[in-house]
Structure 1
Amino acid sequence: MVTLVSTQSETLLDAQLAAIRMRIQTAETQFGRRPGSVALLAVSKQQPITRLLAAYTAGQRAFGESYVNEALTKQAVLREQLIDWHFIGRIQTNKTRLIANHFNWVHSVSDFTHAQRLSQQRPPDLPPLHICIQVNISAEETKNGLAPAALADFIKIVRELPRLSIEGLMTLPAQTDDFSIQRRTFADLRTLRDQLAKPELPLTTLSMGTSDDLEAAIAEGATIVRVGTALFGARAGDHF
């Protein structure tokens, strides 16, 4: 059993978590969203286990990790906590078995080989692996994700794979401080979802929005916002 020694840092984290929850609730109200319709995914990559446990103690249950080996270490230590583990990083072919075995969600699927391996390697005694298809909505060369035009065909073939459950779409758009541009970009992903959703595949999840743009994402239909910086503090290269 992991125990938590209260520190000033953990007290601050409690306040930051409460502030993020309030931002989400305020945006839900402002943009006519149903209360509680937007879930918070705490981006905990490169954070010490004590900070994850502090967030857990404050009621956070979903955590997003980008590095498989780091995540496995945390999962081993926190195995008694009822944590919903989400993989949000770039998928490496040699890591798919570990991802399939140790995560509940994968937000970054955009390669059929990876999807096929995740399907084949998901243990039959576990529920199907929840996945989001990553879309490169801003057409950035440095980012993974499918082009919008390729999305329909990709979903069609991935749907046939067993042990996977396509929940919706994810994007990490180009950074901007312009709220109207943020909204238009997220609206593009929502429009794609609306065009592709079917009764048998509702694509109810829109994983979009981070520390800097979660209000715009919520305005355009986000159901999961991925927040790291506003919760745990900034780290070099962070975009959450």
Structure 2
Amino acid sequence: MDTISERYQHVLSQIRHATGIAGRPKNSVQLLAVSKTKPAGDIAVLYRLGQRHFAENYQQEALLKQQALAGFNITWHFIGPIQSNKTKAIAGQFSWVHSVDRLKIAQRLSEQRPAHLPPLNICLQVNISEESSKAGVSLAELPELAAAITVLPNLRLRGVMAIPEPNSQYAQQRLPYRHLYQAVQDLHLAGLDSYSFGMSGDLKAAIMEGATMVRIGTALFGERDYRV
């Protein structure tokens, strides 16, 4: 598959197939196109094919693309690490943030969310594999952080995001997602309906274990480059 269009159709087919195998309703899994390091032109191609949700990891790069694509009705998701001094732009320029793992960051996002915009949709990043090299709240800390964020006025807690330790075995790929999905269910918090699970290498496993959004980059755009 040499073109973005061909890759896009293939990914959509994979999502439909996995959703069917899981016995879940059609269109219950949303494709989130991860466009980090890819040029605005590639995003425009996918947009014209029907894709509307795009995710970025780097604030400054994302802002440049948002300016270039200002005429497009894109829903922007931020999925990268968040520095305290970068929260204002994220609060104002994105509809979703998937990578919140500290109350301080959530508080700043709430305080800096422009009054004319709806509440910012939040997913809590959980370090489900307990890797020291990765960001994310632990499962043990998740209930307390979730409860604290639900009372912030300009945020809407929607669910969780996870990036498990890579594993090539399908059965092993499913386990961390299953564990986290059940942990969120056990919280019994109203409105938690979003599971940002799965990337190009474990899409099927994530959907089988409850993903409502799959974050796909390489399978859509090809290998990373550094043009913006």
Bucket of the pairwise TM-score, normalised by the shorter protein: over 0.9
Matched AA of 1:70 = E
**What's the TM-score, normalizing by structure 2?**
0.97
Q: Which residue of 2 aligns with 1:5?
A: none
The 5-angstrom pairing of residues 104-183 of structure 1 reads: 104-183=95-174
Determine which of 217, 220, 234 is the counterpart of 2:206. 217
Deviation string 1:26-58 (CA, Å, 9 cap, x unpaired) is 001111111100000000011011100000011
Secondary structure, counterpart of 1:180 in structure 2: helix
Residue 209 of structure 1 deviates from its aligned partner by 0.2
Q: Which residue of 2 aligns with 1:207?
A: 196
Determine which of 61, 68, 82 is the counterpart of 1:77. 68
Question: Runs of 5+ in structure 2 lacking a partner?
Answer: none
Residue 235 of structure 1 deviates from its aligned partner by 2.4
How many Å separate the matches in 2 of 1:204 and 1:24? 18
**What's the TM-score, normalizing by structure 1?**
0.92
Residue 91 of structure 1 deviates from its aligned partner by 0.5
How many Å separate the matches in 2 of 1:135 and 1:47? 26
How many Å separate the matches in 2 of 1:204 and 1:113? 23
Matched AA of 2:122 = I
How many Å separate the matches in 1 of 2:224 and 2:39? 13
Runs of 4+ in structure 1 off by over 3 angstroms are none
Maintained 8 Å contact 2:121/2:156: yes
Residue 197 of structure 1 deviates from its aligned partner by 2.7
How many Å separate the matches in 1 of 2:196 and 2:114? 25
How many Å separate the matches in 2 of 1:138 and 1:102? 30
Maintained 8 Å contact 2:126/2:160: yes
Q: Of the two structures, which has the highest relative contact order with CA contacts closer than 8 Å and spacing of 6 or more?
A: 2
| Percent pairwise identity | 45
